[in-house]
Chains A and B, each alone.
Chain A
Amino acid sequence: MQQKKIHNRKKRKEILVKGLVIFQLVVFAVFFLFPFVWMLSVSLQTEAELMTTAGFLEQIVPKSWRFENYADVFKTLPFARYFANSGIVTFLTVLGTLLSSSVVAYAFSKLRWPGRNFFYSLMLVTMILPSFILMIPTYKMYSAFGMTNSWIPLILPAFLGGGAGNIILIQQFYQAVPGDIVEAARIDGAGEAGIWWRIMLPLSKPVLATVAVFAFLFSWNDYLGPLLYVNDQRLTTVALGLRAFQSQSSTNWGLLMAGSVISVVPNLIIFTFGQKYFLEGTKAGAIKG
């Protein structure tokens, strides 16, 4: 009897705590999602409505439902062009990152070569180097080679290692692949390139998916790169192009928010497909850091 009472009290407490946790989770979900709802709502409003409606609770449901805002985004700016540009740059960045970071990860996990440990430590150090210090000299270098006002500075780094974080993520995955598999393939006469392509790559699909999502989001959202290197309207990317809704004499909030919604759609799609791998896989790079 006594025991049951204690048990009941314990159970009640547990339910209370769980309820409290869920309540907070919901409150924070509102904090994270409300801006999206607001963005979506404003993207469907006329300028006049936005000006006259006071109070966000009234603002949250648009009255004008101006879907033309979305069409106007493509009419007032060459937004389709921006979209295609971002698509090309992002595709090449993802491709380059996947190829080069997995090749390098193979060297750092399955091959023995003098200096390997030294370079690995160096790679870890580069992760904490503030990239700011490199901005001006890198710009001058690309400028000296006449590569400014092109996409080369945006894409080239992806093919040259694709970032220490990505390499380490894949390297730690490769490390877990038993050395016997690689050794057996070597005895069978397979070359290193063959082993990487036919054994390691297929095995590492989950981590490659993670890296692909990271590279995609980084490239699609990159603002600083295009800001420095792309002056030509014809080369402008979405992340940079969005700015133009603002700088023209006055801000058209409806169009700006419609453009923002459009710009985030590819990310949402990639995230939805990749989240299974990548929300689980983010940790590996951080563990040893």
Chain B
Amino acid sequence: MKWKKKAGKKKRKEAVMGYLFAAPWLIGFVVLMAFPLFYSLYLSFTNATTTSMSTQWRGISYYKTILADPVFWGSVGNTLKFVLLSVPLNLLFSLYLALLLNAKVPGRKLFRALYYIPTLVTIVAVVYLWRQLLGSSGVINQVLSWFGITGPDWFHDYTWATPGLAIMGMWSVGGTVVIFLSALTDVPVELYEAVSVDGGGWFTKFFHVTLPMVSPILFYNLLTATIAAFQIFVQPMLMTGGDYNTNYLGYSIYTTGFTVGRQGYASAMSWIMLTIVGAFVLVIQLARKKWAFYND
């Protein structure tokens, strides 16, 4: 009895310590996430602005306006174009690089570090750098001209600005490469040997060993890349000013909320955006349940 009491006391003490140690995150969660989330929902029903103090209830009228706005849908379409272009491009490119780095060749650690270095550059510098590299007479177009191709003026072109931003994104793919690479190095060598013994080639090895084994990481990268791509905003702001079909959702919300100052309206936009992103996340999660291979 006495022992039980003591154990209970000890347990209680540990519980208190648990909350105490978790407190920084718990506070941060409430103050910087949960509350802002509800606050944002509230704002989306009001005509809040950056400047005025008094706000009026607008109900769902902004949602109706936005959903009937062709400019908004244009922005959605441009965002989807960017996401559907840049996410597969980045994932395939980084998986391919990881496969190369995983081959047992000399200097692979050096290459891995070199591929990572572009991610160290601050975004403003990246944008200004690539504005030059993908300029009308920039490096990329000069290389293309060797093959008789006349490249577009990427960031002053309604068709090519979005692909241009996607290519620019490929330069900073190092983080994803590193994650893929560590998943590849974890694939047991015996599995490849088994395929070899059965007379299978690289095709069998890739599709029946590598791909299933890295599929959890593939889905993880797909998820994070998709969410990140939907939120692209600094790049178009600095590169095109949202022109040339790059008025992506993130950019539209920022300009509406901060440049124009209509924060209620922008909040409603961001909830619609969240719904779209949520639908993508759901599809990815369902696909992961169906196709990702978990060993345990």
Contact = CB atoms under 8 A, between A and B. Distances in A.
B72 interface: no
Q: What 6 A-B pairs come out closest when comparing CB atoms?
A: A113-B18, A160-B28, A161-B25, A107-B21, A260-B125, A283-B182
Q: How large is the interface on A (under 10, 10 to 19, 20 to 34, 35 or more residues)?
A: 35 or more
Contacts of A283: 178-179, 182-183
Contacts of A259: 125
A28 B100 contact: yes
26 contacts: A25-B111, A32-B115, A35-B133, A36-B117, A38-B139, A103-B24, A107-B22, A112-B11, A113-B17, A113-B18, A114-B15, A133-B270, A136-B40, A137-B43, A140-B39, A160-B27, A161-B25, A161-B29, A192-B17, A221-B121, A240-B124, A263-B122, A264-B121, A268-B117, A271-B117, A286-B221
Interface of A: 17-18, 21-22, 24-25, 28-29, 31-36, 38-39, 42, 54-56, 100, 103-104, 106-108, 111-114, 116, 119, 122-123, 126, 128-141, 156-157, 159-162, 164, 167, 192, 196, 217, 220-221, 223-224, 227-228, 238-240, 242-243, 246, 251, 253, 256-257, 259-260, 263-264, 267-268, 271, 275, 279-280, 282-283, 286-287, 289
Interface string B18-37: 11111011111101110111
Contacts of B236: none
A130 B103 CA distance: 36
Contacts of B138: 56
A128 B22 contact: no
Given A134-B32, A279-B112, A112 B230 contact: no
Nearest to A241: B124
Contact of A192 (B21, B113, B124): B21
Interface residues of B, number: 92
Contacts, number: 257
A133 B122 contact: no
